[in-house]
Amino acid sequence: MAETHNSETHNGPDDEGKRDFIHLAAGAAAAGAVGAVAWPLVAQMGKAADTLAAGSIEIDLTKVAEGQQLKMLWRGKPVFVRHRTAAEIAEAENTDISDCPDPQTDDERLVPDNAGNLRPEFLVMVGVCTHFGCVPVGEAGDFDGWYCPCHGSHYDTSGRIRKGPAPTNMAIPPYTYISENVIKVG
C-alpha cells in the first residue's frame, strides 16, 4: 500500500513557529486595543484646563500700596496680600512668640524671593480664621492685625493668633516669586 502524505496533519517545527507568531501577534494587537480604549478613559480623569487655571493666581505686588491690603480669591478662599509698613514689620519681628498659642517667628511666615531674600514688607496669607473659617477684618483687633468678628479671634501683624478661640495662625499658601514684583500663589 502506498503511503499518502497529508500536509494538513504535519506538525513540524515550521508549523509551531507560525503558531507562536500568530499568538504573539494576536496578543500584541489585543494589548494595543486595550491601551487605545484605556488611554482616553484615564486621560479624562485628569484636571480640566479651567481647574488648572483656577489652581494658581498671579499677583502684581506693585498694585498694593504700603499700609494697604489686597484680597484675591484662590481656590475659593480669600488670600490677603498685605504691604506692611516699617512699624508693622517691627511689631511682628519684636513679638515674644512664647506668648503665642501657635509660636512662629515672622521670618518663618515668609517665603524667600528668587535671590533667596525674605521680603518682610509683603505678607501673603489665606484670609480665613482657623477657628470656624470666617474671614477676618484687617487692621483691627487688639494687635493691629486682623480680627475675626465671628468668635473674637485676634491676629497680629504677622497673622499669628494672639487671643481668642482660633487654634493656629492664619495659613500661608504655597507661593513663589515669578519676578521681583509678581508672585504666583498655588
5 belongs to the catalytic site: no
Grid coordinates in use for 153? 479671634
Cell triple for 87: 512699624
Question: Which among 10, 23, 131, 151 is annotated as catalytic?
Answer: 151
CB 161 within 8 A of CB 101: yes
Q: In what order do the strands lie in the sheet with 145-148?
A: 137-140, 145-148, 153-155, 161-163
Grid cell for residue 147? 480680627
- Secondary structure class of 71 (helix, strand, coil): strand
Q: What is the CA radius of gyration of the chain?
A: 32
State the cell numbers at 85.
509698613
Tell which residue, 86, 85, 89, 54, has the closest CA to residue 72: 54
Active-site residues, by number, are 151
